[in-house]
Amino acid sequence: MSVKVYVPCDAAAVSVGADAVAKSVAEQIASRRLNASVVRNGSRGMFWLEPLVEVETPQGRIAYGPVSADSVASLFEAGFLEGKPHTLRLGPTEEIPFLKRQERLTFARCGITDPLSLSDYVSHGGYRGLERALKLTPETIIEDVTNSGLRGRGGAGFPTGIKWRTVLNTPADKKYIVCNADEGDSGTYADRMIMEGDPFVLIEGMTIAGIAVGATSGYIYVRSEYPHAFRALRRAIAIAYDKGYLGANVAGSGKRFDLEARMGAGAYICGEETSLLESLEGKRGQIRFKPPLPAISGLFGKPTVINNVISLATVPIILDKGGEYYKNFGMGKSRGTLTIQLAGNIKHGGLVEKAFGLSLREAIYDFGGGTASGRPLRAVQVGGPLGAYFPESLLDTPLDYEAFAERKGMLGHGGIVVFDDTVDLAHQARFAMEFCAVESCGKCTPCRVGSTRGVEVIDKIIADRDRMLNLELLDDLCQVLTDGSLCALGGLIPYPVQSAIRHFPEDFHKPAPPPPANGSSKVPGKVQETQSWS
Amino acid sequence: MGNPKAWDADRALIRIRELERLPGALLPILHALQDEFGYIDKAAVPLIADALNLSHAEVHGTISFYHDFRHNPAGKHVLKLCRAEACQSMGCESMIRHVEDKLGIHLGQTTEDHSFTVDAVYCLGNCALSPAVMLDGKLYGRVSREVADFLIDSAQRHA
């Protein structure tokens, strides 16, 4: 039998040379006339080991990593097709502690299967959720999702079942399922991994949602920074149509569900659900007033389920194993598993799917192994650019929606960005305001104008100009942003700013830096602006 | 990316016609035109407005809203540098300054010989392998100054 060698096609693995490794493995197989083949799988999510190459042996899959194209020949010399020793050998993949201690439900297949093989998907439990859903009434499907306790994994944590019920109970001639794949938060990549590593699970989840609420059409709005994910989805959708899992007669049920992947255009705000809907309609991505909720009047004015990738990709396992099964993971009001993404200055960066309740410290040290630089950890930002900066003293906070809210932070999409002691929190606070100014949709004044004023005020604080007065002014500005902004961008940008001041006050009281030398940072040469119509 | 063709109104109209019936066709059309020509020519605005029954202002407003759409041709190579938090924690700011100095331009600009455009992006989803950059649609991780030099030099050699 032909030996299978797995080399990930995940964009992150490719970013450190997986394509070159796959090519090199294929060349070695050909030149040595071996009975083996290369499978491009998704990533297991252990990025410090990428490119992680696995070999299928009678003893299970054996991992080697990080493999470079140059080391491939030596792997063959050492007999890695039989799983033999080599300095890069990591042992059985499933026994690697980082992976072994996880509870992978949503990511059960990611990294194991060929993402674009429907037969692989089905033989690993795929489409069992849809099969069961097709035997149930819409009410029962939604009851199961509600019972599972699944809350929106995009960041807001709204109960998914309640959203679906609203759409089901709103009569209309047309309804939509929209997947928010505009994963713009720094420190997050779980959506990308699923779209590239197991796209059929998202397609199945959306199909189940469509059947549950009576929607016949769906869109996946993918950010343009994810070209690999976009291509993977387009291919997977074409395959699903070809095999009868999408279209006029979903899996022979007589029910219709059409699906299309659309590309965003580089606007962070389009991760906000109403901006995303405007963008899908072909307009500027400006947010809408709520109410009406998208569940009542969403895409093209029709009732619309809009959920994050991970929420929708979790639906198949809930339908397959039942809401009770999923609910038995987790703590308090946070049920099921959380996909934690370890990022930034971290030794072992990667995806950890685990029942809610793990502490920030356990995630960063037990899984992540501390900082990559080896320097002391100073700050952690959880929940993306709108999340709070936590100091070391808050690391025992459990990763749970309510626990974070109590400490004036937010769990968001589960991204954890670690900073060592070289970080300057005044600089990070300034960046938060700058980011808000770049990405504001411009609809409401607090966000549009307040973000720019915020940068200016923080600049004055850093430069020690009327520092105490300006700190007071900044606090006031943050209050206006919190109370007066229309959406979460302006409404939450005070989180990183105020948490930086609260937990790291010393960074706002340093001596003013010397003014830059005359024209020092200017670069020579004539330049041409790209963004102006002359 | 690839090799964009020079602006051609007839060709643009063909692309518009292919997509105009899609629900919410404007973004797909703008992406198609940018793929074809490397930017959205001013002359495309009335063509799109006419096809979708929109005002010129609506089309122009949409183009200018999104960071992706260019008003002028980009350089032969487009280098997107992530400057979001995860990459900051691994020192992207100094790598970015190095790239700016090396090419003699700032973020958002194109070199005079049109060989390179550098843009800031906020997150490429490669946050466990920071700093990340994207060169001509290809993602790279753990990009030190040396890796950045290598990427730029290799691209220039294959210009």
A533 pLDDT more than 90: no
| Per-residue pLDDT reduced to its tens digit, A133-175 | 999 999 999 999 999 999 999 888 899 999 999 999 999 999 9
Using 50, 70 and 90 to split pLDDT, how confident is the model at A514? Answer: confident
**Interatomic CA distance for residues A91 and A71, integer angstroms:** 17
- With CB atoms and an 8 Å threshold, state whether B129 touches A431: no
CB of B35 within 8 Å of any CB in chain A? no
Residue B121 has what pLDDT?
A: 97
Strands of A321-479, DSSP E: 330-331, 334-335, 337-344, 350-355, 377-382, 389-391, 415-420
From the candidate CATH numbers 3.40.30.10, 1.10.10.10, 3.40.50.620, 1.20.1250.20, the one assigned to the domain spanning B77-157: 3.40.30.10
Is residue A237 domain-shared with residue A287, that is, in the same domain? yes
Which of A187, A265, A349 minimises the CB distance to B68?
Answer: A265
* pLDDT band of B5, cuts 50, 70, 90: confident
Q: What is the pLDDT of residues A338-365, one digit of tens each?
A: 999 999 999 999 999 999 999 999 999 9
Confidence class for position A517, pLDDT limits 50, 70, 90: low
Alpha carbon A141 to its chain's center: 26
Copy the structure tokens of residue A102.
Answer: 């996880």
Residue A521's pLDDT is 45
Q: What is the CATH number of the domain that holds A436?
A: 1.20.1440.230
Find all residues with CB under 8 Å of A270, minimum gap 6, and list them.
A182, A184, A221, A223, A264, A276, A279, A285
Residue B140 main-chain phi, psi, to 5 deg? -130, 145
Q: Residues A54, A141: one domain?
A: no
Question: What is B19-71 written as a DSSP string?
Answer: HTTSTT-HHHHHHHHHHHHSS--TTHHHHHHHHHT--HHHHHHHHHHSTT--S
pLDDT of amino acid B41: 97
With a threshold of 0.80, does the pTM exceed it?
yes
The domain that holds A133 is classified in CATH as: 3.40.50.11540
pLDDT band of B2, cuts 50, 70, 90: low
What is the nearest CA distance from A44 to chain B, expressed in angstroms?
13
Confirm if A133 and A320 have CB atoms less than 8 A apart: no
A515 within some domain? no
User: Is A407 strand, coil or helix?
Assistant: coil
- The chain-wide mean pLDDT, for chain A, equals 95
Q: Give the per-residue SS3 of A130-186.
A: HHHHCCCCHHHHHHHHHHHCCECCCCCCCEHHHHHHHHHCCCCCCCEEEEEECCCCC
Give residue-wise pLDDT tens across range A191-227: 999 999 999 999 999 999 999 999 999 999 999 999 9
**Average pLDDT over every residue of B39-67:** 98
Work out the percent of chain B whose per-residue pLDDT is above 90: 94
Average pLDDT over residues A15-42: 98
Cβ within 8 Å, pair B87-A186? yes
* Start-to-end CA span in chain B (Å): 13
Per-residue pLDDT for B1 more than 60? Answer: no
pLDDT surpassing 70 at residue B50: yes
One domain for residues A366 and A492: no
Q: How far apart are CA B87 and CA A423, in angstroms?
A: 12
Which residue range is the domain that position A391 belongs to?
330-420
CB atoms within 10 A of CB A386: 22
pLDDT band at A254 (very low <50, low <70, confident <90, very high): very high
Q: Is the pLDDT of residue A528 over 50?
A: no
What whole-number percentage of chain A has pLDDT above 90? 93
Tell me whether residues B127 and A529 touch, CB distance under 8 A: no
Q: What's the pLDDT at A38? A: 98
Residue of A nearest to B23 (CA): A281
- Contact flag B71-A225 (C-beta cutoff 8 Å): no
Contact flag A527-B111 (C-beta cutoff 8 Å) = yes
What is the structure's pLDDT at B138?
97
Query: Out of A34-43, A331-340, A363-372, which region has the weakest mean confidence (pLDDT)?
Result: A331-340
Distance from CA of A492 to the nearest CA of B (A): 16
Q: Which amino acid is at A359?
A: S
Q: Is B110 on the interface with A (CB under 8 A)?
A: yes
Asked if residue A440 and residue A394 are part of one domain, the reply reads: no
Number of domains in chain A: 4
Query: What are the two backbone dihedrals, phi and then psi, of residue A46, each rounded to the nearest 5 degrees?
Result: -110, 85
Residues facing residue B80 across a β-bridge: B119, B134
* Relative orientation angle of helices A445-462 and A425-439, to the nearest 10 degrees: 150
Q: Is pLDDT above 90 for A527? A: no
pLDDT at residue A532 greater than cutoff 70: no
Give me the CATH number covering residue A380. Answer: 3.10.20.600
Does B109 touch chain A if contact means CB atoms closer than 8 Å?
yes
Quote ipTM for the complex.
0.97
Residue B23 touches partner A, C-beta closer than 8 Å? yes
What is the model's pLDDT at position B159?
Answer: 60
Contact of B142 with chain A, judged by CB distance below 8 Å, is answered with yes
The Cβ of residue A103 has, within 10 Å, a number of other Cβ atoms equal to 16
Provide mean pLDDT across the span A30-56. Answer: 98
Beta strand pairing call for A334-335 and A330-331 = antiparallel
pLDDT tier for residue A443 given thresholds of 50, 70 and 90 = very high
Domain ranges for chain B? 9-65, 77-157
Which residue from A226, A385, A524 is facing B84, i.e. has the nearest CB?
A385
CB atoms within 10 A of CB A295: 22
Rounded-to-integer distance, Cα A13 and Cα A67, Å? 10
How high is the pLDDT of residue B47?
Answer: 98
- Confirm whether A526 is domain-assigned: no
CA nearest to B60 within chain A: A284
In angstroms, the separation between the Cα of residue B89 and the nearest Cα of chain A is 5
Residues A260 and A280 in one domain: yes
Separation of alpha carbons A373 and A420, rounded Å: 7
Q: How high is the pLDDT of residue A530? A: 43
Q: How far apart are CA A290 and CA B129, in angstroms?
A: 38
User: Is the predicted pLDDT of residue A322 greater than 50, yes or no?
Assistant: yes
Does the pLDDT of residue B132 top 70, yes or no? yes
* pLDDT classification of A78: cutoffs 50, 70, 90: very high
Q: What percent of chain A has pLDDT over 70?
A: 96
Beta strands at B77-82 and A415-420: parallel, antiparallel or unpaired: unpaired
